[in-house]
A and B are shown apart, each in its own frame.
Chain A
Amino acid sequence: DQQVKQNSPSLSVQEGRISILNCDYTNSMFDYFLWYKKYPAEGPTFLISISSIKDKNEDGRFTVFLNKSAKHLSLHIVPSQPGDSAVYFCAASSPNTNAGKSTFGDGTTLTVKP
């Protein structure tokens, strides 16, 4: 049973447009959510996070939205740049269990075309 799902394996957008990456989760105990970005031949790097007490968190061109009732979060990148082309992983944590272990989705490969 996959508790964190990223249903779109890939996404292609034009430079300057908005990229929207989606993530769904099933475990209502998750209360902290993170996005990581991964370039080829490198490890994932932390991008942005959101606590369940918020519905939006913004950091520059990156905004994460959380809809707890729908168990859904999304990452918006505006404007998208070619350097944003990477695999994006959504992750969810339950800080009070398993030492705050994160459960990851399968990842979405974003391609931003110049």
Chain B
Amino acid sequence: EAQVTQNPRYLITVTGKKLTVTCSQNMNHEYMSWYRQDPGLGLRQIYYSMNVEVTDKGDVPEGYKVSRKEKRNFPLILESPSPNQTSLYFCASRGHDGYEQYFGPGTRLTVT
């Protein structure tokens, strides 16, 4: 089954404690993105990747890091989380010949 998986689904942490949210897709897609969803602000792109070892900033990259060492994986790293990063995070992927994205189920992050 074609899918994008994210882990963990829920995470409560404290300010400053480094964390990683994993994302994996099994569709051999070139493009992958991370989004955050906040009330009244829709889905905003954090980072995206066009292929292995090729990443770039989206609209709200501050406080986040990403890496793309393998085509299927695109982890999101918060080196020093802060309460304003409390949000719902989605990973997404798409192939090179289409514009529709496939989204993971989301990770609800709370930073206290």
Q: Given A99-B48, A104-B42, is A49 in contact with B103 using a C-beta cutoff of 8 Å? A: no
Q: Which one of A42, A89, A91, A100 has the greatest number of beta carbons of chain B within 10 Å? A: A100
In the complex formed, the residue of B with least CB distance to A105 is B42
Asked if A42 contacts B90 (CB within 8 A), the reply is no
Is there contact, CB below 8 Å, between B105 and A42?
yes
Q: Are the CB atoms of B4 and A89 closer together than 8 Å? A: no
Given A32-B99, A43-B106, A98-B48, 11 more A-B residue pairs with CB atoms under 8 Å apart are A34-B100, A42-B105, A43-B104, A91-B43, A100-B94, A100-B99, A101-B33, A101-B58, A104-B35, A104-B42, A106-B40
- Chain B interface size, under 10 / 10 to 19 / 20 to 34 / 35 or more: 20 to 34
The docked-state distance in angstroms from the alpha carbon of A46 to that of B103 is 9
Partner of B31 from A99, A106, A107 at Cβ < 8 Å: A99
Taking the complex as formed, is B64 at the interface, i.e. its CB lies under 8 A from any CB of chain A? no
Q: Cα distance A104–B94 when bound, in Å?
A: 16
Q: Which of A2-43 contact B (CB under 8 A)?
A: 4, 32, 34, 36, 41-43
Please, could you name 21 A-B residue pairs with CB atoms under 8 Å apart, sorted by A?
A4-B42, A34-B99, A41-B106, A42-B105, A42-B106, A44-B90, A46-B100, A46-B101, A46-B102, A49-B99, A49-B100, A93-B99, A98-B56, A99-B48, A99-B56, A102-B45, A102-B99, A102-B101, A103-B45, A104-B35, A106-B41
Q: Could you list which residues of chain B lie within 8 angstroms of chain A, going by C-beta atoms?
A: 4, 31, 33, 35, 40-45, 48, 50, 56, 58, 90, 92, 94, 99-106
Q: Interface of chain B, helix or strand or loop or mixed?
A: strand
Question: Counting chain A CB atoms within 10 Å of each CB, which of B35, B56, B99, B103 scores highest?
Answer: B99
CB distance from B83 to the nearest CB of A (A): 22
Which residues of B lie under 8 Å from residue A95 when comparing CB positions?
99
B42 contacts across to A, CB distance below 8 A = 4, 89, 104-107
Contact flags A68-108 to B (C-beta < 8 A → 1, else 0)? 00000000000000000000010101010011111111110
Contacts of B41 in A (CB 8 A): 106
Choose one: A89, A93, A99, A103; the contact of B50 (CB below 8 Å): A99
